Copies of this chain bind each other. A is one copy, B any other.
Amino acid sequence: MTQSITITGIGVGPGDPSLLTLAAIRAIEEADLIAAPTSKEDSAGRAESVVKAILPDIEVTRILFDMTQGPQGISLREQSAKEASRQILAIANSNSFKKVAFITLGDPNIYSTFGLMAKYLKAMDPALSIRSIPGVMAFQAVLSGHPMELTDEDDSLILLSGLADIKDIDLAAQRPDRAVVIYKGGSKIPEIKASLYRSGRLEGAIVGVEVGTATSRVLPLSEIDGPLPYLSTVVVPPLHHKGADKKSSWNNKLD
């Protein structure tokens, strides 16, 4: 019986190499092929740089990805995911590689191309095993220097991307028992600030800029004027009304 290929999507965390898990390191060390997305073939993508900081001697195969944002970006990204899947399978098959690692920033299933690739990979080779190893997400790293009870008991947490409509951010912030996290909202910071101000949620909100890189910083959102880099993460803690009945303070018709 021929052993089939296993492709493991490996989350390498937000950028700080020390946030790699033991499972991620082991899977990378054991792989026959380590593939990493990059937007330019002649330079390392961020996932490759993170892994190389811990395992400098590994060989990484760069897979070109179109990183275009927005509505047009969606179909380009689907094309990239499909093409990357085809490419990885071709390399694995022609070399009889059985263990393939695909490294990716953050977690491989949350706002990550790996989940999309999983669909194409499975369609191209139904005998394939696909699994993933979770990675720390950027908003978790933003909280490292600002520990807070982000969610407790019956609180909820919503993650949105900067591509969401501002009215979705308005709605998300209307429940005081909900933490709100907005990814990749750098270019929309002024609109996000205005939305949170309207909801009474600007105070206490923080923003992590380029977390995991050498220029990483976390600041109160109220102190920011104008847009920030694309990779910015806004974290809005729930409003906890001390001593008051949390349930009585909102209209539970809202979600």
Contact = CB atoms under 8 A, between A and B. Distances in A.
Interface of A: 9, 11, 13, 16-23, 25-26, 54, 73-74, 77, 107-112, 114-116, 118-119, 130-137, 140-141, 143-145, 147-161, 163-165, 167-168, 171-172, 174, 252, 254-255
A115 B147 contact: yes
A134 B22 contact: no
A252 B165 CA distance: 10
A21 B26 contact: no
B136 A144 contact: no
Given A111-B151, A153-B163, 7 more contacts: A16-B23, A22-B54, A109-B143, A118-B147, A134-B141, A156-B172, A158-B159
Nearest to A116: B149
Contacts of A255: 168, 171-172, 174, 254-255
Q: How many copies does the complex hold?
A: 2
A161 B155 contact: yes
Contact of A148 (B118, B145, B153): B118
B26 A18 contact: yes
A154 B161 CA distance: 6
Nearest to A81: B149
Contacts of A137: 134
B109 A148 contact: yes
A108 B144 CA distance: 9
A110 B151 contact: yes
24 contacts: A17-B22, A18-B22, A19-B22, A21-B21, A73-B153, A109-B148, A109-B149, A109-B150, A115-B150, A119-B149, A131-B144, A134-B136, A134-B137, A134-B141, A134-B144, A135-B140, A136-B136, A151-B159, A154-B164, A156-B158, A156-B159, A157-B158, A165-B252, A254-B255
Closest 5 CB pairs of A and B: A115-B149, A134-B140, A171-B255, A18-B23, A154-B163
Contact of A160 (B23, B131, B156, B168): B156
Contacts of A153: 73-74, 77, 111, 161, 163
Nearest to A165: B252
